[in-house]
Amino acid sequence: MAELNTGDDGGGKGGKVRSKKQNSKVDLTAMVDLAFLLITFFMLTTSLSKPQSMPLGLPAKDDTLTKIKPLKTDQRRTVTIILGAKDQVKWYHGLLDAPEVGGAPTTTDYTKDGIRKELLKRVKSIPEVMGDKDKGMIVIIKPTKKSTYKNLVDILDEMAICKVPTYAIVNEFSPEENKLAEEINK
């Protein structure tokens, strides 16, 4: 026990001042409580305060390789997502003038039942349609001028959540896509 033995230590000399035999136990409960509270606080803050980051790789700007041999991708694999104002997104599957079944341009948002539902569905179905598990979905992200940085991070996060194998950020808009973007940016 935490005891502080005060006074009498056996061979006391001459002066017989007998101190009381009261042993003074200190109640440590409160101190231990406090210590553990502080430990918890410091443990959590040290590991959680480090900022997280999201790695992003972009294609080189003047990629001579792609210029010589433009990459042709199957339209059945591509899903285009246009990021608009007010946290809205417009997506379509395939070509804009000839979308895949159920892939016509639709407006949705970043919630769980919004774009994620569609992405998850297609991430599964596309390799099946293509008959090759290496030919997965390709997502083209097109942020408009009115979208925010948060939107970009959100959509990249969706890519990570849905495990989309290939995605790219593209800044060029075709006239038709511009029209779609204007619809949601109104």
- Residues found near another protein in the complex (CB under 8 A): 1-2, 28-29, 31-32, 35-36, 38-39, 42-43, 45-46, 48-61, 83, 112, 120, 143-154, 156-157, 160-162, 171
Rounded to the nearest whole angstrom, what is the least distance from the CB of residue 85 to another protein in the complex?
10
Q: Tell me which amino acid residue 15 is.
A: G
Pairing assessment for the beta strands 106-109 and 166-169 based on DSSP bridges: unpaired
CA dihedral 162→164→165→169, nearest 10 degrees, is -140
Round to whole Å and give the CA distance between 91 and 114: 11
Rounded to the nearest whole angstrom, what is the least distance from the CB of residue 80 to another protein in the complex?
16
Rounded to the nearest whole angstrom, what is the least distance from the CB of residue 44 to another protein in the complex?
10
Q: By C-alpha distance, which of 185, 180, 183 is closest to 85?
A: 185
Pick between residue 104 and residue 170 the one whose CB is nearest to another protein.
170
Pick between residue 41 and residue 74 the one whose CB is nearest to another protein.
41
Pairing assessment for the beta strands 138-143 and 106-109 based on DSSP bridges: unpaired
Rounded to the nearest whole angstrom, what is the least distance from the CB of residue 48 to another protein in the complex?
7
